[in-house]
Amino acid sequence: MSLADKVLAVNNDLPIRTNQPVHSGKVRSVYWLTEEDSKRLIKEKNYNVASEAPLAIMVISDRISAFDCIWHGEGGMNGVPGKGAALNAISNHWFKLFKEKGLAESHILDIPHPFVWIVQKAKPVMIEAICRQYITGSMWRSYSKGEREFCGIQLPDNLEKDQKLPELLMTPSTKGVLKGIPGVPEADDVNITRKNIIDNFEAFNFRSIEDVDLYEKLLQEGFDVISDALAKLDQVFVDTKFEFGYVEDANGNEKLIYMDEVGTPDSSRIWDGPSYREGKVVENSKEGFRQLLLNHFPDPDILLNKDRMEERQALAKDNPLPESVLMEVSKTYIDIAEKITGSRLHLSDNPKAEIINILKNDYQLID
């Protein structure tokens, strides 16, 4: 079996029973279960959700996206071996830790396979909640050009690249295009201030103004839990993105939960501690792949300039990356996952066949 066969690149063609189109994102695909199957599983598996709650099967892939494009390799390698299993294992680890420490629950109800989550439908808060402990990346690029205000927060002068910030910064942006909010441009992923959120909390899908405080508390606590755990492994938690939503439990109580993924190399920057102390940044996250792409192509502006999206998509489509590049990324993901979870990652020879077998025999979701 070739390396390319072990990669799960296409994850939206599984024969899972559903009445709705499969929603396929950059990395995950979501299959909404039928009403009958949702009710049956809630009862059979005793999930702590409202009896009418819609459930979905979320299947991760090994695809790799960067700069809003999906990248592929030579020899038909349409993803990174081990990446999907690594992302899920890391998220599962942090979500479990959050629950143990009494922070909040997540949208995950069950984990039938390393590539698969059974999730409940959440009403998302329309905010990409980004936390930054160090100044790097896009924030550094803006700062070095003279910007000092970020999301309504004033930064001091004389900060240096990759320096630890005086305090943890919350720099939220919009999730999707939100219309009719004063002072907030109608575009995806634009920076917003705390005042924007407080003044228009309902437009961002918060139930109450108190929940804005709760989201900030969960953001700070979630960041600290991951940061402390990584520090014990001599890894630096640099910045990350959280997402939140509302669900109802079996007793009809509505609660704010963590959703999407947390603390992964896709949603966070993680630096190697010993290297950082020596003044060198070694990335244990997707940021390393982004840097590699910027160095790989002669005109990096194509990757950074939003006005050159067509050229960028053509670049990704027409340029298979060397297998060695994807294997280097694979090693980064697998190593950090095994470090965080403390256990070996199970890498399947045929993940698709395994998933079909489990969902058919243990969950009766495939005819």
Tens-digit pLDDT profile for residues 25-56: 999 999 999 999 999 999 999 999 999 999 99
Domain definitions of the chain by residue range: 3-122+345-361
Domain 3-122+345-361 CATH assignment equals 2.40.30.10: no
How confident is the model at residue 2, as a pLDDT? Answer: 67
- 357 contacts: CB under 8 Å, gap ≥ 6: none
Give the Cα separation of 226 and 346 in Å (integer): 23
Question: Can you give the pLDDT at residue 1?
Answer: 57
Does this model's pTM top 0.75?
A: yes
- Report the pLDDT value the prediction gives residue 349, as an integer from 0 to 100: 87
CA nearest to 268, candidates 327, 223, 220: 223
Q: Residue 346's pLDDT is what?
A: 83
pLDDT of residue 81: 94
- CA angle 338/117/329 to nearest 5° reads 40
Low-confidence ranges of the chain (pLDDT < 50): none
pLDDT at 53: 96
Surface-to-core class of residue 202, CB atoms within 10 Å of its CB (0-12 exposed, 13-18 middle, 19+ buried): exposed
Q: What is d(CA 6, CA 248) in angstroms, rounded to the nearest whole number?
A: 38
Say what the pLDDT of residue 204 is: 96
